[in-house]
């Protein structure tokens, strides 16, 4: 019968905190860039320019049709080779940079769909009122539509953030020592893989469950 031994965890806390810092850096960067870029994509898809709408739609469909782990490997394996071919020298260790770019661009496609739905949820009368006040279409979108849309879709944006936080564990495929990767390496080193993975799972659960409770409260407040 397997005997649990949790003695490796206290000494591993400093390394686990460093791993969590990388996990949070990837998560927060992807959320910020993903929302900004996703907003531009959503506006382009709803705009009058057919060319921009086509390009934005193609971008969203591309990233929503391939696995995230494949996108991570694309940016880790292919992009450095392209840069090396252009500049003629090695770029160095780009694991963190490639993970940040891959997650940001990938998540932008999902945020774009959420934001597009949020924009469409705003009554058309709001747009007509803005134009009647003499605002340009761009000003109407920025000052009237987007604030209301973000208020409506905030719970969905946070929910997608939870999913993103969980998905950051996929960076193990490029050897990046995030929280999960660090937990696995320490557990494998100390022969206590089960304990470290259970501890990592508990940490993920506490964080995700806490944020999900915040999301539920926001949904209840906005539904009033």
Q: Do residues 197 and 187 touch, judged by C-beta distance below 8 A?
A: yes
The pLDDT-based confidence of 224 (bands split at 50, 70, 90) is: low
Q: 101-158, pLDDT tens digit by residue?
A: 999 999 999 999 999 988 888 888 887 888 788 778 778 888 888 888 888 888 888 8
- Cα dihedral across residues 13, 16, 22, 25: positive or negative: negative
Q: 194-212, pLDDT tens digit by residue?
A: 999 999 999 999 999 999 9
Q: Find, among 76, 66, 68, the residue nearest to 97 by Cα.
A: 76
Q: Please work out, in degrees rounded to the nearest 5, the angle formed at the alpha carbon of residue 155 by the alpha carbons of 106 and 167.
A: 35
Q: Quote the CA–CA distance of 178 and 167 in Å, as a whole number.
A: 11
Give me the domains of the chain, ranges plus CATH numbers.
8-222 (1.10.3720.10)
Phi, psi of 169 (to 5 degrees): -65, -15
């Amino acid at each position: 019968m397997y005997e649990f031994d949790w003695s490796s965890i206290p000494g591993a806390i400093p390394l686990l905190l460093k791993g969590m810092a990388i996990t949070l850096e990837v998560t927060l960067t992807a959320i910020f860039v993903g929302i900004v870029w996703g907003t531009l994509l959503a506006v382009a898809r709803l705009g009058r320019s057919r060319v921009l709408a086509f390009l934005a739609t193609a971008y969203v469909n591309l990233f929503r049709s391939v696995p995230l782990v494949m996108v991570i490997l694309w940016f880790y394996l292919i992009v450095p080779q392209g840069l090396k071919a252009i500049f003629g020298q090695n770029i160095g260790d780009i694991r963190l940079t490639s993970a940040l770019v891959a997650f940001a661009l990938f998540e932008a496609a999902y945020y774009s769909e959420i934001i597009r739905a949020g924009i469409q949820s705003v009554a058309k009368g709001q747009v007509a009122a803005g134009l009647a006040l003499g605002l340009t279409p761009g000003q109407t979108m920025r000052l009237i539509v987007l604030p209301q849309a973000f208020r409506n879709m905030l719970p969905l944006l946070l929910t997608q953030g939870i999913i993103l936080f969980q998905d950051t564990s996929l960076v193990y495929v490029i050897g990046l020592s995030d929280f999960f990767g660090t937990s696995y390496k320490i557990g494998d080193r100390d022969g206590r893989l089960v304990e470290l993975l259970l501890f990592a799972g508990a940490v993920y659960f506490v964080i995700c469950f806490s944020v999900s409770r915040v999301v539920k409260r926001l949904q209840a407040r906005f539904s009033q």
